[in-house]
Structures are given as C-alpha cells and as structure tokens.
Amino acid sequence: MTLPDSMNVVEISAFGPPGVLRMARRPVPVAAAGEVLIRVEAIGVSRPDSLQRRGLHPPPPGASDVPGLEVAGTVAAIGERVPRWKIGDAVCALLPGGGYAEYAVAPEQQVLPIPQNWSALEAATLPENMFTVWENVFRRARLADRETLLVHGGTSGLGSLAIMLARAFGARAIATAGSDLKCEACRRIGAEFAVNYKTADFVPSVMQHTGGRGVDVVLDIVGRDYVQRSIDVLALDGRLVHLATQGPEKHATIDMSTLIKKRATIIASALRWRPAEEKGWIAAGLLQHVWPKLPARAPIVPLVDSVHPLKDAVRVHEYFDSGAHIGKIVLVP
C-alpha cells in the first residue's frame, strides 16, 4: 500500500470553545516498533476529546496532540515486532491521541478486530467506552450475573454501552437521564427502569424500584453531590465506580458512616495515561469475553446518534457539548 506524505487532521489551535478546532495538514505518522498504522474510516467522538479541547485532559507524554481516542479502519502499515496484524486487516483501536485524522497509529496491544456483522463506522463507537466499562464495571467492580447496575447518564456513549454490557452478562440495569425522551431510550437499550433526574430525585426512586435493597454497582460520571447520593442507593457490599466529574466543582463530601455501614467500596479510575501493556490486558479480556457476543448485535447493538464529516468538527463539538445526543457521534474523514 502506497501511503501519502501528508493528511488532513483536526487540531486544537488554542484551548477553549469548539471554535478553536481547525483543519490542518500534517505528515502521515510512521508506525514505530510495536505499533500499527491505521487508515481511518470512522472516528468516535468522546468526552475526553471535549475536555482536551478545553485544556482539561492532556495527552500522555509522547502522544499526538491531535484529539481522538478511538478509530476504526484498515491496517495500512505495521512496525517491527507486530506479529498479530497484517496490512489490510479490518480493525478498531483505542488510541492515546491522534484520532481526528486520516491516518492514526496505535500500540498493537490496543488494536482489536472489527466484530463480525459490524461496519467500521459502527466499530468506531466501541474502543474507548468498551475498554473503560469492561475494566471498571466488570473487572474492578466485579458486576456479576443477577446483580443490579445503576448508570448515571444512561444515554451517553459510556452509559448506553454499560447498560447493554450489563444485560449481556446477566445483570439488571437501571439508569438516570436528563429527559423523558432519554429515559425511554435507556429502556429501549435494556434498562428496566430509568429516572429523569430533572424531575425526580433518583435516590427514593431507585430505592423504591429495588424494594429498599439498593443496587450493587453505581457507574458515576457526574461527581459532586452525586457521590453521596450514589452511596445512599448502594446495597450491602455495593461498589461505586467514579470515572469523571462534570462542571467546575471537583470536590465531594461523603458520610463515612454510611460507607462503613454498607461495607461499600469506592473505585476511581482514569484510562488514558495507563501504559499500553495494561491496556493490552484489558483488550485481551474483551477479545475473550465480549467480542464473541458482538456478532449477534443483541443485546449489544451499535448506538450511533449521527455521522458527520471530519471538517465539521466544530459543529460536532457544539452538538456534543449540548448533551442532546443519544449514543455515539461519529466523524468520517
């Protein structure tokens, strides 16, 4: 495959609102030892992209400053010591950065095959959220068959995939969302119960729905006062998974007596700065346990909100920041 010398990318000209994004030309990256160069066909838009644009989520040392953590496409070149992949393979990948481009490099451990019966556009919705949910909800929080998961932000890309994965492994899922329309969307993808947090307090609603027992695991991407309220709805031996904090307030006050009485555990995590070897362990778990479930497209289905050309990244980030989307927004070069 003959590669071009340069490519189109979207870069961050300065930290700030969506208008700081701009199209640019950059050299096509070279796959170093242990890396794969992917000709990008689709790019998943995720919250870390928006945070990086605002200067709140920097890439790890040595990674591209171009935003974008997940892509799907075909292998265009391979570096040394990459025995698993060959040119032309259909793949999706979790990146340390550089996804808003026509070509992107990924550590070979973080590359997975596009699932059977999924298109590249659909597969681009998987890597960032799949790695995050599998590692934190299933491996670290040990969500098990017949347990109950509460997902805050159930129509986000992360939240919607968490609901579907819970159902795929025999757990129950309930969710919070910001409108009746979004609550209905949560139920369509597998949540047995959903609470509009703008019109009802989720704590009494969830406790009533569970007969006063509470839930086994909470997936929280909100923070602030949600931390204590999430502890309040935990069952005995429950686990709170905290992955992000929305808004400028970074602190939360919790009642330690409630935590102690419930024998609860708080799990906090960030994925982007972990080494490729650790992400490779997560990828191996996904390939063994999750990827065999994807060809059936049920209960894990591609949930694509909309598809946009890469040149419209400013408008896409405006839409993403509005929170109006349901599922994943996808860019195509």
Say which CATH number the domain at 118 has: 3.90.180.10
Domain count, the chain: 2
Residue 251 sits in which domain range? 130-268
- Summarize pLDDT for 67-83 with one digit per residue, the tens: 999 999 999 999 999 99
Do 110 and 220 sit in the same domain of this protein? no
For CA atoms 43, 162, 109, 275, the dihedral sign is positive
- Residue 195: inside a domain: yes
User: b or e along 140-165 (b: 16 or more beta carbons within 10 Å of the residue's beta carbon)?
Assistant: ebebeeebbbbbbbbbbbbbbbbbbb
**Residue 38, domain member (yes or no):** yes
Q: Which has the closest alpha carbon to 276: 51, 22, 61?
A: 61
Least confident of 88-102, 188-202, 251-265, 292-306: 251-265
| 140 assigned to some structural domain | yes
Residues 34 and 64 placed together within one structural domain of the fold: yes
Residue 69 domain flag: yes
Q: Is 151 contained in some domain?
A: yes
DSSP notation for 208-236: HHTTT--EEEEEES--TTHHHHHHHTEEE
Contact 79, 92 (CB under 8 A): no
**Res 247 pLDDT > 70:** no
Mean pLDDT calculated for residue range 21-39 = 98
Task: Verify that 139 and 261 share a domain, yes or no.
Answer: yes
pLDDT at residue 198 tops 90: yes
Local structure of 163: helix, strand or coil: helix
Domain boundary among 228, 249, 268: 268
Torsion of CA 146, 152, 153, 159, to 10 degrees: -40
Strand order in the sheet with 265-268: 193-196, 172-177, 148-152, 215-220, 234-242, 265-268
The pair of three-digit structure tokens given for residue 108, joined into one six-digit string? 């070979």
Please, what is the end-to-end C-alpha distance for the chain in angstroms?
A: 19
54 and 146 inside one domain: no
CA pair distance 35, 311, nearest whole angstrom: 27
Same domain? For 111 and 146 the reply is no
Average pLDDT for the chain: 96
Q: Do both 112 and 25 map to the same domain? A: yes
Whether residue 110 is found in the same domain as residue 21:
yes
* 91 shares its domain with 137: no
Cα separation, 38 vs 330, whole angstroms:
17
Which of 36-40, 86-90, 268-272, 276-280 shows the lowest mean pLDDT across its residues? 268-272
Give a yes or no: residue 1 inside a domain. Answer: no
Please state the rounded mean pLDDT for residues 186-207: 97
Angle at 118 between CA 114 and CA 123, to 5 degrees: 55
Mark whether 251 and 146 lie in a shared domain.
yes
Which alpha helices (DSSP H) does the chain contain, by range? 47-53, 120-123, 127-133, 157-168, 180-188, 202-209, 226-232, 256-261, 276-285, 313-322
Strands 35-45, 70-78: pairing is antiparallel
Can you tell me whether residue 38 is helix, strand or coil?
Answer: strand
17 and 64 both lie in a single domain? yes
pLDDT tens digits, one per residue of 275-314: 999 999 999 999 999 999 999 999 999 999 999 999 999 9
Q: Could you say which of 268, 291, 318 is where a domain stops?
A: 268
Q: Is 317 within a domain? A: yes
Q: Are 38 and 76 in contact (CB under 8 A)?
A: yes
| pLDDT tens, residue by residue, 106-149 | 999 999 999 999 999 999 999 999 999 999 999 999 999 999 99
| Whether 234 and 195 share a structural domain | yes
Residue 93: in which H helix or E strand, if any? strand 90-94
193 and 299 inside one domain? no
Last residue within a domain, chosen from 253, 268, 283: 268
> In terms of pLDDT, which residue wins out, 250 or 18?
18
DSSP code per residue over 119-146: -HHHHTTSHHHHHHHIIIIIIIS---TT
Residue 257 within a domain: yes
